[in-house]
Amino acid sequence: MDFNGSSPFPEGVISFLDTDLYKLTMQCAVLKYFADVKVTYAFKNRTPEKKLSRAAFQWLQIQINKLGNIALSNDELRFLQSTCTYLNQEYLDFLKEFRLNPREQVIASFAADKDTGSDDDIGEVNLVVKGSWVETILYEIPLLALTSEAYFRFIDTDWTYDEQEEKAYAKGMRLLEAGCVVSEFGTRRRRDYHTQALVFRGLVKAKKEGEKTGLPGQISGTSNVHLAMRFGIPPIGTVAHEWFMGVAAITGNYETATKTALSYWVGCFGEGVLGIALTDTFGTPVFLKAFREPIPSIASGNQRTLSDGVEQSEATSGGPEKAKSFADVFTGVRQDSGDPANFVKIMREFYDKEGIKEPKTIVFSDSLNIDLCLEYKKIADEAGFKCTFGVGTFFTNDFVHQSTGLKSVPLNIVIKLSSAAGNQAIKISDNIGKNTGDKVTVEKVKKVLGYEEKVWKLGDEEHRWGTEDGPAK
């Protein structure tokens, strides 16, 4: 199917693969270890001034219900089998028969600021997801993408698709010329699927031009599995905060949760496979304590080691050789909150102290634009790291108001795991603005972990992409 400005792609979400790859990899791991665990998810709008109308909400409800009609096609199954070889056959058999059930699993509500009954009433939307973890894990990305699409379909409509492909091409060329390795990460806060397809078409054009002219950078892929399949580009992704949040809530032991989560991940996929670790679910210092530990034995079935803890295996204990640690076998880490310059310094000191000489990778993914990519690349290069960049909203929701030329600001919305196995699920990142979950539990876990609150001067989550009266960048 051709993507162009005169023939927009159908509205909404039409495929299980129209999601970030790490939702599939996590669903695979959840199926292996936590298939029966019940969870909830909660929606948060970090830009609370951006609200939907009743008409927008009604459209959103219709699109959410349509998710129940989606099934994995034979072509999509073959793509996963040939491209995502780390997804085991048991999981692929499960996904082939899997269906979402939004009428039972998603609770969507609308509260008008001043309720007149009109379609034009403005108000707040709330989304709650409930069900087993393995059955509800795929809702996050489509619900976020649909909420964003509803806002820009009904509320902020002073924009067009004009030059989206050209803008993406120009951005891609700048990044390639600077030697950056870049993936597109923009599904969750895109303006709509058509925008993302146009953007990726521009990036693919830049990729081909860069390869033809020998530019030092690389367009390495996209987190969106559907676009990866259509454009013949690798799908990119490993794991999200959700995995660590869920394991911590299920076990109830935040002091060992990171190690347990890493252990199960390696147990599901193997050493060095999907090997970019996310560091900031409970703060990077807590993560690094677990990251330096020897890799323990892994539960091969469901949750049989959870009650007894994770025991160190004979293969990794004793003997003259140093047992391999998580830091040894993971190819690198992803930085998603806090000060990137400080993060690079921390990771350099960590790897040096652990005696790890192999070049490691840092993936930067926190609200990036071109200038930030170039800045962070310089810092990472000087510290001896490989680096890559996951650029999201700057690619897929970068528009101006047609009437003024000023920036049309994206929504900053998230859906996070809020409970698992009846326990609160929380996140306490490297930037206070990204913390989520029950406040009492957050404070309790901070004390248990000795967590030190971090505030980053550029970490204002309400204005990460500028303001409505600001210039387009």
For residues 297 and 300, give the distance between their C-alpha atoms in angstroms, rounded to a whole number. Answer: 9
pLDDT at 321: 65
Tokens of residue 303, six digits: 């949750």
Pairing assessment for the beta strands 38-45 and 413-420 based on DSSP bridges: antiparallel
Residue predicted with more confidence, 453 or 385: 385
306 has a pLDDT exceeding 70:
no
271 has a pLDDT exceeding 80:
yes
317 has a pLDDT exceeding 70:
no
pLDDT, the chain, mean: 91
78 has a pLDDT exceeding 60:
yes
pTM: 0.92
463 has a pLDDT exceeding 90:
no
Q: What is the mean pLDDT of residues 104-125?
A: 97
pLDDT at 431: 80
CA–CA–CA angle 135, 139, 140 (5° rounding): 130
CATH class of 21-161+411-463: alpha beta
pLDDT at 456: 65
pLDDT at 460: 59
pLDDT at 1: 42
Residue 35 binned pLDDT confidence (cut-offs 50, 70, 90): very high
462 has a pLDDT exceeding 80:
no
For residues 76 and 373, give the distance between their C-alpha atoms in angstroms, rounded to a whole number. Answer: 33
Is the distance from CB of 205 to CB of 167 less than 8 angstroms? Answer: no
Q: Residues 139-189: pLDDT tens digits?
A: 999 999 999 999 999 999 999 999 999 999 999 999 999 999 999 999 999
- Axis-axis angle for helices 257-269, 284-291 (nearest 10): 60
> Which of 74, 83, 82, 368 has its CA nearest to residue 236?
83
Q: Which residue type occupies 314?
A: E
Please tell me whether residue 351 adopts helix, strand or coil conformation.
Answer: helix
Q: Residues 377-433: pLDDT tens digits?
A: 999 999 999 999 999 999 999 999 999 999 999 999 999 999 999 999 999 988 887
- List alpha helices for 124-232, DSSP H: 133-136, 140-154, 164-177, 193-213, 225-231
19 has a pLDDT exceeding 90:
yes
For residues 224 and 238, give the distance between their C-alpha atoms in angstroms, rounded to a whole number. Answer: 12
pLDDT at 313: 41
CA–CA–CA angle 94, 65, 414 (5° rounding): 80
Residue 459 binned pLDDT confidence (cut-offs 50, 70, 90): low
Residue 471 binned pLDDT confidence (cut-offs 50, 70, 90): low
Residue 308 binned pLDDT confidence (cut-offs 50, 70, 90): very low
Domain ranges of the chain: 21-161+411-463
Tokens of residue 150, six digits: 């509803």
Please tell me whether residue 129 adopts helix, strand or coil conformation.
Answer: strand
pLDDT at 433: 78
pLDDT at 315: 40
For a pLDDT cut of 70, what percent of the chain falls above it?
A: 89
For a pLDDT cut of 90, what percent of the chain falls above it?
A: 85
pLDDT at 465: 54
pLDDT at 307: 38
Q: Which residue type occupies 220?
A: S
Is 319 exposed, middle or buried, given 0-12, 13-18 or 19+ CB atoms closer than 10 A?
exposed
Q: Residues 51-75: pLDDT tens digits?
A: 999 999 999 999 999 999 999 999 9
Q: What is the mean pLDDT of residues 35-39?
A: 97
301 has a pLDDT exceeding 70:
no
Q: What is the mean pLDDT of residues 24-31?
A: 98
Residue predicted with more confidence, 70 or 308: 70
Q: Name, in order, each residue with C-beta under 8 angstroms of 220's C-beta and a sequence gap of 6 or more.
A: 181, 182, 183, 234, 236, 388
pLDDT at 304: 40
Residue 435 binned pLDDT confidence (cut-offs 50, 70, 90): confident
Determine phi and psi for 107, rounding to 5 degrees.
-110, 110
pLDDT at 453: 78
Residue predicted with more confidence, 13 or 456: 13
